[in-house]
Amino acid sequence: MIEAVGLSKRYGDKLAVDRLSFSVKPGQVTGFLGPNGAGKSTTMRMILGLDAPTSGTVTVNGKPFRQAAHPLREVGALLDAKAVHGGRSAYNHLLCLAQTNNLPKKRVDEVLALVGLGAVAKKRSKGFSLGMGQRLGIAAALLGDPKVLMFDEPVNGLDPEGILWIRNLMKALAAEGRTVFVSSHLMSEMENTADHLIVIGRGKLVADCTVQEFIDNNSELSIRVRTPQFEQLGAVLTGKGGAVRADGEDALVVTKLGMAEIGDLAFDNQIRVHELSPIQASLEQAFMELTKDSVEYHAAVPAAKEAAA
């Protein structure tokens, strides 16, 4: 359980995190979403006490993290895969962490085997690939059998097999009753993994709900209708309050009307319908819609360049 109340962090005149209040519950994977620069990493650093909040408080399992008797047994975190001295072997890296919490040495071998780094345990982590570095970070997070796990962008640098592996790992950890808090700017990843979402933009809380609620609240269901009489149907649907746009020569995309309504209206007006299908809005679209005003760094639009040329 992680609980943040009015958490804020100011860097100079920039408010990186702005009065965030949320709680992350055990037994489920909670996705922490936001565009780059939204304040996700800063928030996670404050949870661990690496950064001090400008105001507000955050507790882990009911108390500030620094008061934990055995910090590694409370929280296992992968903040970034580079939090490692490259000159030290994977084994020694984990050993020096395990020793701080009086964890047994054999635990180090066990977690290395679990993440698939057993064969390179004695190798210096300098030579590790991004994916191996990520696995080492996950091994460190699992050292203390923690009740709370935090992962900051864990799939970065992993190959598809690795992504699947960590997705299953997170789900398994949550299924064991642990609190799993995972940040990402990849909505598609969260759609497959998270049960609950906390979405932030420019340091502010934007949404705190289940994945399904998030989609339902933030995107309209669109329905694709294929019909040979599409001008006629378009007029009927518009008349009933639907928003209609053409999709190719023989199809319409309709919003603001339900599938049953569209079907009934077509039947009542004797219009042939060849296809009636929902277009499921993805989390990606819903997220883009929601945070479009709060994206910190916009990419230059190529079209603008062309126009200028």
Partner 1 sequence: MSTLTEKVPVFTGLAPLPEARGRAGFGGALRSEWTKIRSVRSTVWSLIALIAVSVGMISLMLAMRMGDWNQLSPARQHELAADPLGVYFPIAIGLGQLAMVVLGVMTVTSEYTTGMIRSTLQAQPRRMIVMTAKIVVFSVVAAIVGQIVAFGSFFATQQIVKAHITMTLSEPGYLRSVVGGGLYLAVIGLFSLAMGGILRHTAGAITAVAAIVMVLGNMTELLPSSWGAHVHAWWPSIAGAYVYTPSVDPGQLLTPWQGFAVLSGWTALLLAVAYVLLKRRDA
Site string for partner 1, 210-249 (x = CB under 8 A): ----------------------------------------
Per rule CB under 8 A, is residue 69 in the interface with partner 1? yes
Residues 6+ apart with CB under 8 A from 104: 98
CB of 293 to partner 1, least distance (A): 29
Question: What gap in Å lies between CA 143 and CA 98, rounded to an integer?
Answer: 7
Q: Quick one: which of 188, 205, 209 has its CA closest to 281?
A: 188
Q: Quick one: which of 141, 101, 105 has its CA closest to 121?
A: 105
Per rule CB under 8 A, is residue 7 in the interface with partner 1? no
Per rule CB under 8 A, is residue 122 in the interface with partner 1? no
* E strands in the chain: 2-11, 14-24, 29-33, 55-60, 75-78, 148-152, 179-184, 196-201, 204-210, 222-226, 243-246, 251-255, 275-279
CB of 37 to partner 1, least distance (A): 17
CB of 185 to partner 1, least distance (A): 20
Question: What gap in Å lies between CA 17 and CA 257, rounded to an integer?
Answer: 39
One residue of 77, 155, 166, 265 binding partner 1 per CB under 8 A: 77
- Residue identified by tokens 């570095």 is 133
Per rule CB under 8 A, is residue 45 in the interface with partner 1? yes
Question: What gap in Å lies between CA 30 and CA 15, rounded to an integer?
Answer: 24
**H or E stretch at 231:** helix 230-239
Nearer to partner 1, 14 or 245 (CB): 14
Strands 251-255 and 222-226: antiparallel
Per rule CB under 8 A, is residue 265 in the interface with partner 1? no
Per rule CB under 8 A, is residue 17 in the interface with partner 1? no
Nearer to partner 1, 90 or 257 (CB): 90
Which DSSP symbol is given to 119?
A: G
CB of 98 to partner 1, least distance (A): 8
CB of 181 to partner 1, least distance (A): 14
Per rule CB under 8 A, is residue 15 in the interface with partner 1? no
Residue 203 pairs with which residues in a beta bridge?
Answer: none
Question: Torsion angle of alpha carbons 99, 101, 106, 110, nearest 10°?
Answer: -120
Site string for partner 1, 176-215 (x = CB under 8 A): xxx-------------------------------------
Nearer to partner 1, 76 or 234 (CB): 76
Residues that bind partner 1 (CB under 8 A): 1, 26-27, 45, 48-52, 61, 65-66, 68-73, 75, 77, 79-80, 82-89, 92-93, 95-97, 99-104, 106-107, 110-111, 113-114, 140, 142, 144-145, 147, 172-173, 176-178
